[in-house]
Amino acid sequence: MMMTPTAETTIPHAQHVGHALTVLGNGCVAHPHNHALRATLDAGRLDAAEYYAQLTRLVSRLLFVLTAEAQGVLPSPPASAAARQRYLRSYSLGRLQHLAAHRRSPRATGLYRNLWAVLEHLGSDSGDLTLGVPALGDFLQPAPVLPDLMDCVLADQHIIAAVQTLARTTSAARLDGESLVRLHLTLQQWQPVLHVDTRSFELVSTAGQPAQTTPSPVVAPALVIRLLESTLDPVLDNALAQADPEAALRSRR
C-alpha cells in the first residue's frame, strides 16, 4: 500500500504524541498506588515494549475521543439535554484543555477514572445514554487491550498534560486511517526505556537521533495488521465522515 502525503492528509504531530506517551508512561509507573504495575514490570511479566504498546493504544483512544468531540459525535446527539450536559461537565476531554495542570492537587485522580467510564461505555452493548456516550460495541472495550493500565491510578495533572498535548495534534491534523498508519510507523522509530528503580519512562530514537516525523511511504501488510490489532480500526475515521456516525459504527458489529 503506497501513501502519498497531501494537503488534506498529514501525519499527526509525532513529537506531541511522543510527549503524551511519555507523560502517561511516567505517570502510571510513578504513582505510589500502582504497586501491581511495578510488580508486573519487576517480575518481567510485562516488558517495556508491551508497556509502550498499551500506552499507544490508550493514546489512540484519547485521540479518537478528542476527534469525536470536535466533530459533534460526543456527547451523543440523541442523548437528552441533561445527559449531554453531564458529559460536557464531568467527562469531556475537551474541557481539560482549559484547566491548569499545575494547579491540580497531586492527590486528585478522578479524571482517569472518568475517562475509563467513557471508554467502557463506548465498548459496551448498552443503549443507556445516561452519560451522553453511545454504546458502539465490544470491539472498543479497553480492558482486553489495556490489561495493565485498567486498574492504574493516574494523577489528574498527568491526564490534563497529555490531553492538552494531544489536542494540539487533533487541531493541526486530520486523523484518518492513513494518518494513523503513518503515525504508527513513526512511533516504531522510538525505543521505550523503563527505569523501574527510579519509576521513570522515556522514549529514545532507535537511530540515536531525534525521531523523524516522515516514515517510509511503504507499509508492510503485517504492520497494518498490527496497527488494526493494537489501535482503533480506521473504520472509525470513515464513520465520523458519515451523516450518522453512530449508525455507521453500529453497522460494523
d(CA 148, CA 55): 10
Number of domains the chain contains? 1
Give a yes or no: residue 175 inside a domain: yes
Give a yes or no: residue 190 inside a domain: yes
Cell of 14: 509525532
Strand partners of residue 218: 2
What percent of the chain has pLDDT above 90? 47
Lowest mean pLDDT among 61-70, 150-159, 207-216: 207-216
Report the 10 Å Cβ neighbour count for 131: 22
Mean pLDDT score, 73-78: 92
Task: Name the residue range of residue 62's domain.
Answer: 14-250
Q: What is the per-residue pLDDT for 70?
A: 86
Question: Does 82 or 233 have the greater pLDDT score?
Answer: 82
pLDDT tens string 84-137: 999 999 999 999 988 876 677 778 999 999 999 999 999 998 888 999 999 988
Give a yes or no: residue 6 inside a domain: no
Give a yes or no: residue 4 inside a domain: no
Give a yes or no: residue 179 inside a domain: yes
Q: What is the per-residue pLDDT for 241?
A: 60
d(CA 31, CA 154): 7
Question: Strands 190-195, 200-205: parallel, antiparallel or unpaired by DSSP?
Answer: antiparallel
pLDDT tens string 217-238: 333 334 333 434 443 444 555 5
Phi, psi of 226 (to 5 degrees): -65, -40
Mean pLDDT score, 155-172: 87
